Structure formats: structure tokens, C-alpha cells
Amino acid sequence: MNASLASQREIAKQPEPSPAVARFLKRGPRLLIGGEWVESKSKQLVSVIDPATGREIATVADADQADVDRAVVAARAAFEKGPWPEMTPAQREVLLWRLSDLIEKNADELSELESVNNGKTKFMASIIDVPGTRNYFRYMAGWATKITGDTISTSIGGIPGAKFHTYTSREPVGVCAQIVPWNFPLAMAAWKLAPALAAGCTCILKPAEQTPLTALRLGELIIEAGFPPGVVNILTGLGETAGAALVAHPGVDKIAFTGSTSVGKLINKSATDTLKRVSLELGGKSPVVIFPDADVNAAIGGASNAIFFNHGQVCCAGSRLYAHRSVFDQVVEGISGAARSIKLGPGLDPQTQMGPLVSKEQQDRVLGYIESGRKQGASVMTGGGAPSNPGYYVEPTVLVNVKPEMRVVREEIFGPVLVAQRFDDINEIAAMANDTEYGLSASVWSKDLSTVHRIVPKIRAGTVWVNCHNFVDPNMPFGGFKQSGFGREHGRSAIELYTEIKSVCMAI
């Protein structure tokens, strides 16, 4: 490792997993297809690594084209015949609630699995990821019985005296392939599965290759909840093989993807051949704008959380800070102090506040960005390095003296790295905030309502938080402007992603 990237921080040893998690890790590699746990036709395996130690903790199946074919056949059969299409919305609601209850019952095991697989602390998983997942299934369960169409008045002419009764219905879009990333593995699976199931679709979920474990445990709970065979299929494996095969498969009706903008573009192109429905929740480089009249202490806390929550591996992370010149030094000093006080360590250690990044690849990527920032003239206020211990840690980092054209300012780093810039003229700040190809989110910090209401409409982003950052709710639409994707998850918008509108025009 480059000497400038070394850190003196002490890292504790990862505690042993609980008996329940140890048992789960020993279950053999398998795929969930048609309600059965089956081997992959490829017989290939993918290693699952604990990012706190760099050691293999399990292996999972590497699904290939033949497995994708089987899963699509199972999902199509479940969509077209059998119990699922015959179920009432209220019966789908009951199944989703039962699943949420099972998530609650197994919350401790799920939190621990998420921690040893992703690197986040078990504590965070237990207060954010797992209850968020439970609540998401509960919220979407309610939508199953609330999907409606409209009665339409028409003015169809041409036939004297003819009358028409016209209405719309919303019908499930069909077989959905859902490809999710590694930053919130269980919660991202819920964001995809829950609205699709509420709408009556069938699903093939592909978790990220680094973080398949909670998806597999969720598969067990889906069977236990009583979902009919084939309604949810789970394929572990690689994006470029299993993922790409799903996207290209003519038997899939819709692709829902969360991940990088580069892969989102590939998926969108490939899905065009069969004109699949596509929704894409992609990257971000979200601005945090602190005005001179903000509650500076609240803004410091909020901006720290905006970038360091989940180790910065958050699509809507507040990774570009713009603080007014009059408060810039105070804000940067405050965030740097917060960064220095964060205790790094393994996710199962209760003392840990920030775990490792998800993989060696991600650690190298993030350290590479920090190095590129240095080379292009940025100064490191704090952090910038990695402890020498095993495990993929990166220190929470604040970079100053950055320029708009630097890679660290333009590209999504997806790690705990903040770039801080000052601004003078509040009339120029919207243009600075919008100076990015992304448009996922932003936050503005001000006590002046007039300032807030003037800036919010100027920001080109799917979510703008005011005096807060990173808060999401199942009822609040979430998605991107510009190259942060299209389609909105959550709420009614998510149901719209998983339904087609049918117009029925009846001559009466």
C-alpha cells in the first residue's frame, strides 16, 4: 500500500458468529427455483467473504444461462397458472404480512448475516436495514388491496347514438427480474420484491455477488410464509452472466435495477431488444448546501451523517459539500472532528461505529479516488488512509481545496469521502449543486423559508431534503433525475412500475 494511505487506527478482532449464523453459513450452495432449493446447473461457486477479515465464510451457487432459463419458466408458470393469479389481493396482503412477521422473528439472525456479509455493523443492520425491510413489506402489503383503475368519460363519435362505458384497470406487468446491489442487500431486495408481489407479479431476484446471504435467508422465509412455488425465485451469481442473461431473456417482462450508472446503461440497451419495461435507480453525487443562516451545529451533524452513514456506500450519500464562505471553516472543522471520532472496526463488535467497505475491490477503488484527489491538488483535512489490518477499511475522509473538474468531485466514489467547497453568492449555488451528470438527491440547510423555497425548485434531483439528509420512507417516491435513472420506487409510484394500464371500452 502507498505510504500516504497508511493509517494508525487500531482495529479490533471480528467476534465469532452466533450458532444460528454459523449454521446458516454451512448450508450448501443453492438456488431458489420453482419453490425448491436446487443446485446450479453450472456447478460453479462464488466465494462469500467477510469484509472485516478478508476470509471466506461461505460459498454460493453461480447461476448460469441454464439456471436463468429454469427460473424464467418457473416464474412464468407461477404468473400464468396455479394459485398465484387466482389469489385475491387480500390473500396477497396476508402473505406479505406473514413474511414481514417472519423477518421480525428472525431479525437478530438477519442483522448478523447482513453485518458479516456487507461489513456494516450488526447494530446498524438491526436498527435500519432489518426493521426497514419488515416495514417495507408491511407497507406494500397494504397496497395489494388498493390498486384501482378509473372510469373514463369518452366522446367517441362517428356512430350516431352509440354509447360507450369505458374504464381502466391496472394489471401486474408479469415476470420481473430484479437486480440489486451490495450496499443494502436485504432492504434493496424488499424495495424490489414487495411492490411487485403486492401487484401480483412473479419475481426473479439476483443479489449482488458480494452479498447474497440475506437474500437466501429471505428465500427460506418466503417459503415458510407460504408463497406459492415460482412466485419468488432467487439466483445468486455474477452480473455479467446471470444478470445479463436475465436482462436479455425474452420470457422476462420487466427489469428493475439498482446499481451503478454504467451497468444501468448496459441494461437499458440490452432490454431494448425485447422492449422490456425498465426502471433504474442509479448512482449519485449529491450536494449538501449549507447557507449562512443555517443552524450550523445541526448542519455539521447532518452533513457528517449524509456522507458517513453506511460508510458512504449510499446512492444518495451527500458526497459534495457546499458551505457558504462565512461558515465554511467551522463546518469543515466540525465534520472532520466527527470523522476522526468514528471508531472503525468489525461489524460484530458492539464498540464499532463504522465497519469495513464491502470488498477489496471497493477499498482499492475508494483509496484510488483519494489518491487521485491528492494528485490533482486536493488537501486531506482528515482520514485518507486505510489501517494495515486485514479487512477492507477506509478512514472517513474530508478533502478540501478541490476543484469542480477533479474526478473526486465529478464521480461517484461510493465510500466515506467528502469533497468540501465554499460558495460566496447564494444566486450561484443552484448551478454549482447541479453541476453533475447525476440527479438523485440533495439537501439544503437554512432557517430561512424564503431561501429554502427559492432553491428547492432549482435543484435537479429526485429528492431534496431540507435540514436533513438520507431519510427515506416507503410512502415517499425515490429515484433520479438525469443519469441517476428513471422510475420512482416507493408509494403509489412503485405500484405503477409493476402494473400495466388496460383500457376497456365497451359499446353499450
Give catalytic residue positions: 281, 315
* Binding to ligand NDP in span 202-221, by CB under 6 A: 206, 208-209
**How many CA atoms does the CB half-sphere of 373 hold within 13 Å?**
32
Does position 244 bind ligand NDP by CB under 6 A?
yes
List Cβ neighbours of 58 (8 Å cut-off, separation of 6 or more): 25, 26, 48, 213
Chain Cα centroid distance, residue 82? 32
Q: What is the spatial distance between Cα 207 and Cα 239, in angstroms, rounded to a whole number?
A: 9
Nearest distance, CB of residue 183 and ligand NDP, angstroms: 5
Question: Judged by CB under 6 A, which stretch of 52-60, 236-244, 300-308, 492-500 contacts ligand NDP?
Answer: 236-244
* Joined grid coordinates for residue 46: 462464488
Q: Establish if 259 lies at the interface with ligand NDP (CB under 6 A).
A: yes
At which residue does the C-alpha cell 462469500 appear? 48
Residues 235, 179 contacting (CB under 8 angstroms): no
Euclidean distance between CA atoms 110 and 122, whole angstroms: 9
Judged by DSSP in three states, 394 sits in coil
Q: Are residues 319 and 303 in contact, defined by beta-carbon separation less than 8 angstroms? A: no
Burial label for 428, CB within 10 Å (0-12, 13-18, 19+), is exposed
Interface segment toward ligand NDP; rule CB under 6 A; list 113-121, 253-261, 393-401, 425-433: 253-261
From candidates 215, 282, 332, 394, binder to ligand NDP by CB under 6 A: 282
247 binds ligand NDP (CB under 6 A): yes
Which position's Cβ is nearest ligand NDP? Answer: 239
Q: Is 181 in the site for ligand NDP (CB under 6 A)?
A: yes
Rounded least distance, CB 241 to ligand NDP, Å: 8
Rounded to an integer, what distance in angstroms lies between the CA atom of residue 356 and that of residue 337? 20
Q: Tell me how far CA of residue 122 lies from CA of 18, 118, 351, in angstroms.
A: 12, 10, 11
The CB-of-115 to ligand NDP minimum distance in angstroms stands at 18
Per CB under 6 A, which region of 262-270, 295-303, 375-383, 429-437 contacts ligand NDP?
262-270
Choice between 135 and 178, CB closer to ligand NDP: 178
b/e code 278-296 from CB counts within 10 Å (16+ = b): bbbbbbbbbbbbbbbebeb
- Whose Cβ is closer to ligand NDP: residue 106's or residue 463's? 463
Site mask for ligand NDP (CB under 6 A), range 308-327, x = bound:
-------x------------
> Is residue 3 within 8 Å of residue 391, measured between CB atoms?
no
Closest among 77, 168, 135 to 496, alpha carbons compared:
168
R_g (Cα) of the chain, nearest Å: 24
Would you count residue 258 as binding ligand NDP (CB under 6 A)? Answer: yes
CB of 180 to ligand NDP, least distance (A): 6
Contact code string over 80-119 relative to ligand NDP, x by CB under 6 A: ----------------------------------------
In the complex with ligand NDP, the residue whose CB is nearer, 118 or 362, is: 362
Binder of ligand NDP out of 5, 12, 107, 238 (CB under 6 A): 238
Considering only 33, 267, 294, 442, the residue that binds ligand NDP (CB under 6 A) is 267
**Residue in this structure with the C-alpha cell 438491526, named with its chain if needed:** 126
Stretch that binds ligand NDP, among 143-151, 154-162, 239-247, 291-299 (CB under 6 A): 239-247
**Rounded (10°) angle between helices 213-225 and 19-26:** 90
Would you count residue 182 as binding ligand NDP (CB under 6 A)? Answer: yes
Do 278 and 267 form a contact (C-beta atoms < 8 A)? yes
Cα–Cα nearest to 315, from 475, 441, 179: 441
Under the phi-then-psi rule, with left for phi > 0, alpha for psi from -120 to 50, and beta for the rest, what region is 216? alpha
State the nearest-atom distance from the C-beta of 237 to ligand NDP, in Å: 7
- Site size toward ligand NDP, by CB under 6 A: 27
CA distance 334 to 121: 24
Q: Pick one of 51, 239, 474, 491: the residue that binds ligand NDP (CB under 6 A).
A: 239
- The least distance separating ligand NDP from the CB of residue 313, rounded to whole angstroms, comes to 7
Phi-psi region of 173 (alpha: psi -120 to 50; beta: other; left: phi over 0): alpha
Task: Report the residue number, 62 or 496, with the smaller CB distance to ligand NDP.
Answer: 62
Q: Is 243 in the site for ligand NDP (CB under 6 A)?
A: yes
| Closer by beta carbon to ligand NDP, 441 or else 446 | 441
Q: Which residue has the cell 487500531?
A: 10
Q: Is 263 in the site for ligand NDP (CB under 6 A)?
A: yes
Residue 378 touches ligand NDP, criterion: CB under 6 A:
no
Task: Tell me the CB-side half-sphere exposure of residue 190, using CA atoms within 13 A.
Answer: 29
Query: Least CB distance from residue 361 to ligand NDP, whole Å?
Result: 8
Q: Is 179 in the site for ligand NDP (CB under 6 A)?
A: yes
Question: Which region, judged by CB under 6 A, interacts with ligand NDP, from 4-12, 128-136, 258-266, 289-297?
Answer: 258-266
Check: CB of residue 313 under 8 Å from CB of residue 322. no
Which residues of this protein are in contact with ligand NDP, per CB under 6 A? 179-183, 206, 208-209, 238-240, 243-244, 247, 258-260, 263, 266-267, 282-283, 315, 362, 365, 412, 414
